[in-house]
Structure 1
Amino acid sequence: MAISPAAGHRDAVVVLPGIMGSELIESATGRVLWGVSDPRWYGSAWTTGDALAKLHVTEDERAGRTGRIRATRMLRFPAFAPVLRGFEPYRELLRGVRNNAAHPDAVLEFAYDWRLSVAHAAAELAKAAEAHLQAWRAHPQGSRDARLTLVAHSMGGLVAHYFVTELGGAGELRTLITLGTPFYGSVQAAGLLATGRGTPLPLPRRRLRALACTLPGLHELLPGYRCVKERCCAYSQLTAVDVESLGGDLELAQRSLDRQERLRAAAPLPQLRAVVGVGQRTPQSLTLAGGTAHVQEYVPDGGTCADRRGDGTVYRDAATLPGSPAFYLPQNHGSIARSEEAIAYACSVLTERPLGPPLGATELGLYVPDMVEVGRPCPIEVDLVDNPAAVVCKVFDLAANLEIARPWLTPHDGSLYAEVPLPGPGLYRIEAKSGGFSAVSQLVLAVAPDE
């Protein structure tokens, strides 16, 4: 007996990655500038800087003369940036979505140049989505009444939202599924622009800051909510002048904040289904002084302050829109689109089968530094644990694709704690798991002491 696919299967699906989530190549040479297969490349790139110089946005690109760099596909291999931490590949997400579509041809992988503005990427998305929808409606396995379903990670959700609300995409949209999208920005972006101003700083973070100050895409992630602490429980919104004082670009900051102002005034989006990362230590507010930003892990809550946490990059209340249902998942920002639960949720929305949290699932928070020196132990902290004895921690060398350690976690100041030496320069994944949710993971870059 033939089994008909569920109604959601008949849609044309577009999958969008987050910032730094697309492979970029130099058009003239075909050289891969971002998204290389060898994770050891990131240690060299962030310390020498030669490989990253081509990623800086030029005046020509800001003026709209693009094409020097092309996005070819979504990440197939782990990537890393200091402060922003790791970016996991999208293989599992793409596989899950394709397996739940009416046909693999119903799914479009939309890579975009994440260095440039949300508006630029959304204009490209509008053309690609329209062509994909028409091709799918004419496909032998397609449907003439098919509509668009967008599945977007992080900044990809901002691109999708701009396409839907400002470029007329709402008329063809059935559902927008976002995974860790910073609808109201991230304090991490403001902190990154100010990182190291007037203070000694490891070379990789200096390289990132120099790159970030040229990127419209990074400025798009600036926080648009009341996050600047003036005095006790008195907060104001970040301004473009504030961003300029931190070393950012005044024009790029104003564009981003203007876009967020339009977002606040826009009508509700009933098609939105947001996966929101929770349980991780997350910058939520900041203080400004002397051209520097100091981030804090709390926001105002009535007459006091509260730690709302989030996915380590986006705090939980910034990752969805008012009136939209949210699926809360304890996971880090760079790993959320790789997690089994987020993929299962996206597929359940596609097929219109609601999905609840796994049996036995508990919230768990993982904290590790973004970088460590080889020869120094890497600290690992795990908190929000109901059953400490059930927590398992693992360390993987991504270059060797090998598990290299299972640190023993011991109680320390209300959390669980371990230290593990990383054997050499390169990229490592640290995982912690307890209960029914998949492991919370984070990428760490190990660098030589003189780097």
Structure 2
Amino acid sequence: MIHDLVVFVPGILGTRLTRDGKDVWNQSKQALLSLRSPAKAVEGLMLPPGIGDEAPDGPYAVEAGRLLKGPEALPGFLSCIGYPDVQAALGWYDGERTGPGLHPKQFMVFPYDWRLSNRFTARRLKERIATALDEWRAIAPGVYPVAHDDPPKVVLMCHSMGGLVARYYLECLDGRQDARALVTLGTPFQGAAKAVRVLTGRAMEPGNLATRALQRVLSVNERLATLARSFPSVAQLLPVYACVVNEDGNGRTWLKRAPVPDLPSELVREAFDFHEEITDAWERHQIGLAAPPYRVHCFAGRAHPTVHGVVVGADGSLAFPTGLDNDRDWGGDGTVPGGSAFASWVLEREDEALWNGERHAGMAGAEALRHQLMAIRRSRPARQMLGSDADFGLEVPDMAVAGEPFTVRASGPTVTGRTLRARLTAPGLPDTDAKPVTLLPDGTGGQVAELTAAEGTWMLRVEADRPYAVCHEVVTVAEG
């Protein structure tokens, strides 16, 4: 595996989208959070109706040239801290034939337009890999002697939705014949219930907000739903497990069998069609095989409260619980449920996954996981259980208002007796400018702190001592 081509596929939000050299996502997000110019909220990113599995043209087209370097978020749904230096995490090439680092031609980043259907993106991935693999195979024997007898293959390292793109490429586009391994970091193999929230116009919970803040949240929810419904990718993130619960709590069923108010049925059909296409291809290819031709390494989180489903009330109201019953641990990474991020289509036991305490946004940059990725690439054993007694759950508001305090809460049995500190940083500001705030017991077994920030997208870092652990999350702060 040391001589294989490594391909990094980011998740949704993980690629910088530009038009005429200008960031369209940053511009659209600021309009989305503003009450002054609602028309601008969707015009930069909106896709035309009926785009299906194709790419847009004209005013809807964007350039997807490089990875996101700093934090970004779709409030109430997904966030990404960025990918500052993925290649460095896997080791730099030192010029020696036996060196462990990646040769410049041995690493490929695949930025893409994350609004589009994962089918279209997978087709683009196939084209890019074919070219890069041919180029690498031509020179690999001169770099790694092992490549003379074992032609290089592909190691796919994927964050979040990038793993769905890779799965479609592997099973539906014959990518498995060139693959050595698939590594996924928080990939929603069975979807994420947060997609139901955003597509029904309930991305952010109003809570006990003042009138003006409440007006802002309701307005943003409406615009987010309008925007997200135009993205084929978001529909393909809808949960395809039994996630719908009746108000009386009597059993669970699937979205395709229980209509959810304000959730367009065509989006639900698209989600199930997409996942069933992958499953059917997988089962067809596996006939007569004891194992797939490539290895699967699955990193997943389960330390944090995570929305798992939707409760439909008799009056049409919706609630989004973090647990669906009492028969199991319903944790996740704050966005993707642990059960969805577990590659159950190929792994038989939970201890075959690599569990960790990171949140979804920061999983690709987590220090412990970086060491595991390097071990996998060098064909060395990776630790099977990254989670430990140091992990703690973290709850962060969907959106905060500039100048108004917001609450950060740490939970779980491991927070008792430990000192936890939270701080906010922003791109362009040195960490030393951020003053940490100590969390205090809340009387229920957790610890809380109130933070205040100016308008913008902030990185939240919560550190705990004895033993040391850290969690990251993106916080969106709208103007007051």
TM-score above 0.5, yes or no: yes
**SS in structure 2 at match of 1:226:** coil
Task: Check conservation: 1:427, 1:443, Cα contact below 8 A.
Answer: yes
The Cα shift of 1:448 comes to 2.6
Q: Deviations over 1:155-200 (max 9, x none)?
A: 0000000000111011111100000000000010011111349x95
The Cα shift of 1:205 comes to 3.0
Q: Supply the RMSD in Å over aligned alpha carbons.
A: 2.7
* Residues in 1 aligned to 2:411 and 2:473: alpha-carbon distance in whole angstroms: 14
**SS in structure 2 at match of 1:433:** strand
Which of 290, 296, 299 is the matching residue for 1:275? 299
Matched, 1:112 2:112: yes
The Cα shift of 1:226 comes to 0.7
Which of 176, 181, 202 is the matching residue for 1:170? 176
The Cα shift of 1:281 comes to 0.7
Alignment of 1:175-324 (within 5 A): 175-196=181-202, 201-230=217-246, 231-239=248-256, 242=259, 245-248=261-264, 250-265=265-280, 266-267=282-283, 269=292, 271-289=295-313, 292-300=317-325, 304-322=326-344, 323-324=346-347
- The match for 1:32 is 23
- The match for 1:351 is 378
Task: Check conservation: 1:370, 1:443, Cα contact below 8 A.
Answer: no
- The match for 1:369 is 397
Using the aligned pairs only, state the percent identity.
Answer: 23
* Residues in 1 aligned to 2:3 and 2:370: alpha-carbon distance in whole angstroms: 18
- The one-letter amino acid of 1:213's match is R
The Cα shift of 1:439 comes to 1.1
**SS in structure 2 at match of 1:273:** strand
* Residues in 1 aligned to 2:374 and 2:64: alpha-carbon distance in whole angstroms: 26
- The match for 1:141 is 143
The Cα shift of 1:115 comes to 0.4
Which of 26, 33, 39 is the matching residue for 1:46? 33
- The one-letter amino acid of 2:410's match is V
Task: Check conservation: 1:13, 1:148, Cα contact below 8 A.
Answer: yes
CA 120–80 in structure 1, closer or farther in 2 if over 3 Å, else same: same
CA 152–341 in structure 1, closer or farther in 2 if over 3 Å, else same: same
- The one-letter amino acid of 2:115's match is R
Task: Check conservation: 1:392, 1:406, Cα contact below 8 A.
Answer: no
Q: Which moved more, 1:166-175 or 1:134-143?
A: 134-143
* Residues in 2 aligned to 1:359 and 1:43: alpha-carbon distance in whole angstroms: 36
Q: Which moved more, 1:353-362 or 1:163-172?
A: 353-362
* Residues in 2 aligned to 1:224 and 1:19: alpha-carbon distance in whole angstroms: 18
Task: Check conservation: 2:456, 2:478, Cα contact below 8 A.
Answer: yes
The Cα shift of 1:307 comes to 4.2
The Cα shift of 1:437 comes to 6.3
**SS in structure 1 at match of 2:183:** strand
The Cα shift of 1:408 comes to 2.0
* Residues in 1 aligned to 2:201 and 2:361: alpha-carbon distance in whole angstroms: 20
The Cα shift of 1:277 comes to 1.2
- The one-letter amino acid of 1:208's match is L
- The match for 2:409 is 381
Alignment of 1:21-100 (within 5 A): 21-26=14-19, 29-34=20-25, 42-43=29-30, 45-47=32-34, 48=37, 50=40, 52-59=42-49, 61-62=51-52, 64-67=54-57, 68-99=61-92
- The match for 2:288 is none
TM-score by length of 1: 0.87
Give structure 2 stretches of 5+ with no counterpart: 93-99, 207-214, 284-290
- The one-letter amino acid of 1:433's match is E
CA 291–93 in structure 1, closer or farther in 2 if over 3 Å, else same: farther
CA 130–247 in structure 1, closer or farther in 2 if over 3 Å, else same: same
Which of 167, 176, 181 is the matching residue for 1:161? 167
**SS in structure 1 at match of 2:136:** helix
- The match for 2:212 is none
Give structure 1 stretches of 5+ with no counterpart: 1-7
The Cα shift of 1:376 comes to 2.3
Matched, 1:15 2:21: no
Task: Check conservation: 1:101, 1:107, Cα contact below 8 A.
Answer: no
The Cα shift of 1:133 comes to 0.9
Number of equivalences? 431
- The one-letter amino acid of 1:30's match is G
* Residues in 2 aligned to 1:141 and 1:11: alpha-carbon distance in whole angstroms: 11
